[in-house]
Amino acid sequence: MFADAKKIMVFIPLPIVSHLVSAVDTAKLLADRDDSLFISILIMKRTPDTKISSYITKSPHPRINFLPLQENNSIASGSMGDKNWVLALAESHKCLARDVVVEMMESQKGRLAGIVLDMFFTPMIDVANELGAPAYINFTSGSAVLGLLLHLQSLRDDDGKNLKEYKDSDVKISIPTYVNPVPAKVWPGKVFEKETGFLECARRYRETRGIIVNTFLEFEHHAISSLSADAKIPPVYPVGPMIQGGGEESDENKRKREEIIAWLDKQPHSSVVFICFGTRGSFEGDQVKEIATALENSGVRFLWSMRKASPKESVAFPGEYENLEQELPEGFLRNTNGIGKVIGWAPQMAVLSHPAVGGFVSHCGWNSILESVWCGVPVAAWPLFAEQQANAFQLVKEYEMAVEIKIDYRKDSGVILSAGKIESAIRQLMEPKNKVRVKVKEVHDKARAAVVEGGSSYNFLGRLLQDIMDNAH
């Protein structure tokens, strides 16, 4: 009876732009490869991210649509500041999501081929089970980190280990997705806190039909092979790199982009170091001054995206400074005039793909790592939070394709990194004959090859579609 029914996939992303864009990019890949697939992306109203509404106004694809989840008053309003707010958000929207999907399937007379869930929305697996649809996880970080989470979850749940004992220790343990033992100091901070529910998510990944990862086989060969060899882990589908565009830009940001690119156009090839810590990264006071001193003393050309920290208790993203000069050491802007430019918001992909940019001081967010690889720009690793320390460890110690600033740095530690340490890393990064430059170039070529027809990610996407379609018949 379902042979000719419309095949519909449902995506339920975390309502934060980077996770939403990841869901849309994955949906586009699937829709582009199979004309019979229609995709609905459920959008939750409660979100700390103001950019969501402007992002969803543009249609990403003729067979992809956005479905708002209209909140009812019975949904408990957990605070975004709560340690487990993401799980609470998913839990409180389960009935709503189920009802919306049921209503949609009835009105469209379709066949539910599967539900793709955000990596933090594992309570929604219950919805998929109730509707008899396979659940897939959209994992927005790398496969080595996926293996780290699954291994730590198994240590806790199967071997009865108390992970808190490892916190701030010098212990290193063997993790199947890494070649080198991984120090506890680079594990995501949330694994030490039971109340975040972080490892509960990892435990439930094991119940799903598959895990979609934004990575590619040639980049994380060891990690992907080890995950694929473990019978207790669902199939992993590395279908990346999916590179996020900037989404829609405001007129103000378009103007800033033009000004930044015009400045880069005047700089020599590979001469500029780009300093940017992502949408959530910012420093204050003394650390800003140390970075400024390092840049001035290095004599290297630079483009520095300097963001104003949001108030301590706020979940808002960093913003723009009204007056940069007040935050920087006296005379810095005058002394570096001509060789450096300090900006607020940055169009990261446009900057990294500019031929003048030869190095990237980065927080090692996964999207930023993939963008640096895609553009062939080597990284100096300065992680701040989440899984960034583990990403930095992977780049510096596993792959030797990044310069270390401090891979176990944590933003909330209160540690100030000295200008000397930062300057030394920047000089090393911008050295034309640095071996990390050669390694990044090799991976850059492989990244481009992975996504074209016949490439590894292209083939994994085909396998994923096959699995989805087998269920849809």
Whether 229 and 265 share a structural domain: no
344 falls within a domain: yes
**Residue 299 is part of which domain span?**
251-446
Q: For residue 103, what is the domain's CATH number?
A: 3.40.50.2000
Q: What pLDDT is recorded for position 74?
A: 45
148 falls within a domain: yes
Whether 183 and 226 share a structural domain: yes
The number of distinct structural domains making up the chain is 2
Collapsing DSSP to helix, strand or coil, 51 comes out as: coil
- d(CA 22, CA 86) in angstroms, rounded, equals 17
118 is catalytic: yes
pLDDT tens digits, 124-147: 999 999 999 999 999 999 999 999
Of 19, 93, 151, 354, the active-site residue reads: 19
Q: What pLDDT is recorded for position 75?
A: 46
Q: What pLDDT is recorded for position 31?
A: 96
382 falls within a domain: yes
Whether 344 and 309 share a structural domain: yes
Whether 236 and 354 share a structural domain: no
Q: What pLDDT is recorded for position 315?
A: 59
Whether 373 and 436 share a structural domain: yes
328 falls within a domain: yes
Whether 170 and 303 share a structural domain: no
Q: Which among 229, 36, 203 has a CA at the least distance from the CA of 119?
A: 203
Of 25, 118, 151, 467, the active-site residue reads: 118
| Three-class DSSP labels, 271-293 | CEEEEECCCCCCCCHHHHHHHHH
269 is catalytic: no
Whether 265 and 366 share a structural domain: yes
Whether 165 and 258 share a structural domain: no
Whether 440 and 316 share a structural domain: yes
Residue 281: CB partners within 8 Å, gap ≥ 6?
307, 318, 363, 384, 411
Regions of the chain where pLDDT drops below 50: 1-3, 73-77
- d(CA 332, CA 339) in angstroms, rounded, equals 11
What the block records as the tokens of 160 is: 């009865």
Whether 455 and 417 share a structural domain: no
Whether 467 and 383 share a structural domain: no
Q: Which among 4, 64, 69 has a CA at the least distance from the CA of 40?
A: 64
Whether 223 and 298 share a structural domain: no
245 falls within a domain: no
